[in-house]
Chains A and B, each alone.
Chain A
Amino acid sequence: MRKVLVTIISHDRPGIIYQVSRALADNRVTVVEVSQTTLMGEFAGLFSCVMPAPADLDEFSRVLGRALEGTGLAHWVTDASGNGRSPDADHGRHEPYVVTVRGRDRPDIIPEFSGAMAGFDVNIDNLRAVARPPEAEGGDGGHQVLMFFELSVPQAVNQGAFRQALNLIAEDLGMEMSLQHRDVFEAIHRI
């Protein structure tokens, strides 16, 4: 068996999942995990799959291309044999934290914060940015944004220094920032 990752990009419309899954099944490829999202009418999907070994990835990509011809779906096939790090594998060595940033939108918010996170070897597991109405709390009439980064923070990271680094960036950018353990969000909202 060989692990592959199939990436699909397209305008969002009904039938995408059917067309992709049909093409994969016809080639004896089994889907193991799927993550998909949509934004501004565009679809992006990641399909983690296993296929019979030995298999030629270039040949598989060509076959998949033919199967999806005329559908408008762009696809990429990559070897994922060395991937597959289970989130649980690092359990005990990382702590899940959430950084929320809100205020007036500007181009350098994500690079500034993500740069600091990378500097502390902190992985961003998920990033969401949500446009907020101009009258949102604390807003000055400009384009307001709320971003939240879901992070895996190594236990070895100096929490105080990490928090201070993020605070300094928030101050420089004129944003409001908070760093909280993820458990508090789940405790409040999930039974």
Chain B
Amino acid sequence: MLTDREVVSTLEMLKNEHLDVRAITLGLSLMDCVSDDLGRLTAKILNKITHYAENLVKTCDRVGEKYGIPVVNKRIAVSPMSALAGPFSPEQMVRAAMVLDRAGREVGVDFVGGFSALVEKGFSKGDLALIKSIPQALAETGRVCSSVNVASSRDGINMDAVGLMGRIVKETARLTAGQEGLGCAKLVTFANIPPDMPFMAGAYLGLGEPDAVINVGVSGPGVVKKAVDRIMAETPRPNFDQISETIKRTAYKVTRVGELMGREVAARLDLPFGVVDLSLAPTPQVGDSVGEIFQSMGLKAIGVPGSTAVLALLNDAVKKGGAFASSHVGGLSGAFIPVSEDLGIGQAAENGYLNIEKLEALTSVCSVGLDMVSVPGDTSAATISALIADEMAIGMINHKTTAVRIIPVPGKKAGEKVHYGGLLGWAKVMDVADYAEAGDFIALGGRIPAPIHSLKN
């Protein structure tokens, strides 16, 4: 028999606290599609995706209905395209991206990730061709997401790649200027990219992964916020130990939902179940914001002094609760702080509590990095590269994933507002210290060596 409390608590999480399964992502290896003939490669890709993902959306919807919990996004993450389309030119890479887009449209998913390259130590011919094709590929497709890993804790930072990505980000913004540079929302530059992440825009399927696998991304900032609000309303007020414990328990509950539903989807599709990625992934709705959790803990807004400590507590407690709830936790698993996608963070930036420098500090303890940050359209490519370099350094030294998803909004100045629409939200264009000397710095090129892995005192 269920208790009143169990039923009421579950209903509250669903109805008022925005509990959902944010993404079920089919990871699909395309390595068996490799060919030196572009037509044959794309035909095999189309065939494999449509075969494996034919029932993905329908199955997710049915499982969502069974448990009364919606699966908001159904996605596909494929092998890094640069590895399987190595012989091709940038123009041919664009055609490969268009086939990914078509395959995604045919099976009804909203994004296909994996138009990606891993270049932390250097470029292959395919890597370079893919990176150069990114602006055109993202301008000509709607569903394709791209990621480039330019750094790792084992290999250091490929500063040539960092320099190149600054120019690629600028060009992507230019080619999608009619949509406020929206192409950049589908492009992420990484350090230590996880191979099993279900969240976009960075999802791809790593080379050590199975041929096909179901990974699940669960969210729940609203559930965490309400749990923190409830404990904060108690007398006497809780201390940080109790707040951390509350977040852990809440993360456990949310992760269990993802585990339950992900396993059922995988079983129905006769595929192995991979990981649950429990990430507090906000949306631009009231009550579904990571930023609002900071206010629940007594801060004026995310960005004021104390914010980094709160985020560290939040990120760690989420990981601990999630790890206990799932047999396999993977992906990013922590708290996202995407500026435009989070109402609380967006408002903090608009009201002057959060600037890009503080945002960077926060990324040293969050699960990703500079995410959905809008900067002036005339920010130089070198300064964007320098921002990427800083973020990669944080990831490399701290053995964590960091990423940059930055949008130099064409024609917009600092302080202006930009509306991306839907889940991408709105944001104030943030001021960036953009100096010509950044060009000299980035032009140095080469690699920043990997950090020492001993003498950790």
Contact = CB atoms under 8 A, between A and B. Distances in A.
Given A137-B15, A150-B2, A178-B68, A184 B260 contact: yes
A185 B2 contact: yes
B71 to A, nearest CB: 13
- Specify the main secondary structure of chain A where it touches its partner: strand
B68 A179 contact: yes
Contacts of A10: none
A126 B4 contact: no
Contact of B257 (A102, A150, A188): A188
Given A146-B8, A180-B67, A187 B2 contact: no
Interface string B120-138: 0000000000000000000
B259 A187 contact: yes
B13 A137 contact: no
B453 interface: no
B12 to A, nearest CB: 8
Contact of A184 (B1, B4, B257): B257
Contact of B256 (A137, A148, A181, A187): A187
A8 B65 CA distance: 41
B257 A148 contact: no
B7 A98 contact: yes
Contacts of B68: 178-181, 184
A189 B6 contact: yes
A139 B341 CA distance: 31
A187 B10 CA distance: 10
Contacts of A42: none
Interface of A: 98, 100, 102, 126, 128, 130, 137, 146, 148, 150, 159, 163, 176, 178-189
Most chain B beta carbons < 10 A, residue from A100, A146, A179, A186 = A100
A188 B15 contact: no
B13 A188 contact: yes
Given A178-B68, A181-B66, A185-B7, 11 more contacts: A146-B4, A148-B2, A150-B1, A159-B65, A178-B14, A179-B68, A180-B68, A184-B10, A184-B67, A185-B10, A187-B256
B11 interface: yes
A188 B8 contact: no
B140 to A, nearest CB: 39
A182 B260 CA distance: 12
A126 B15 contact: no
Contacts of A188: 6, 9-10, 13, 253, 256-257
Given A98-B2, A126-B1, A189 B67 contact: no
Nearest to B253: A188
A159 B256 CA distance: 24
A189 B10 CA distance: 9
Contacts of A163: 65
Nearest to A136: B8
B327 interface: no
Interface string B14-42: 11100000000000000000000000000
A181 B257 CA distance: 12
Contacts of B10: 180, 184-185, 188-189
16 contacts: A126-B1, A128-B7, A137-B15, A148-B7, A150-B2, A159-B65, A159-B66, A180-B10, A181-B67, A183-B67, A185-B6, A187-B260, A188-B10, A188-B256, A189-B9, A189-B10
B253 A189 contact: yes
B69 interface: yes
Most chain A beta carbons < 10 A, residue from B8, B65, B68 = B68
Most chain B beta carbons < 10 A, residue from A130, A179, A180 = A180
Given A128-B4, A187-B260, A178 B67 contact: no
Contacts of B65: 159, 163
Contacts of A178: 11, 14, 68
Interface string B229-272: 00000000000000000000000010011011000000000000
A185 B66 CA distance: 12
B2 A182 contact: yes
B154 to A, nearest CB: 36
A102 B4 CA distance: 13
Nearest to A188: B253
B107 to A, nearest CB: 22
A18 B226 CA distance: 44
Contact of B260 (A130, A176, A183): A183
Most chain A beta carbons < 10 A, residue from B1, B14, B67, B253 = B67
Nearest to A182: B2
A180 B69 CA distance: 8
B11 A100 contact: yes
A70 B104 CA distance: 76
A126 B6 CA distance: 15
A106 to B, nearest CB: 20
B227 to A, nearest CB: 13
A188 B227 CA distance: 14
B454 to A, nearest CB: 38
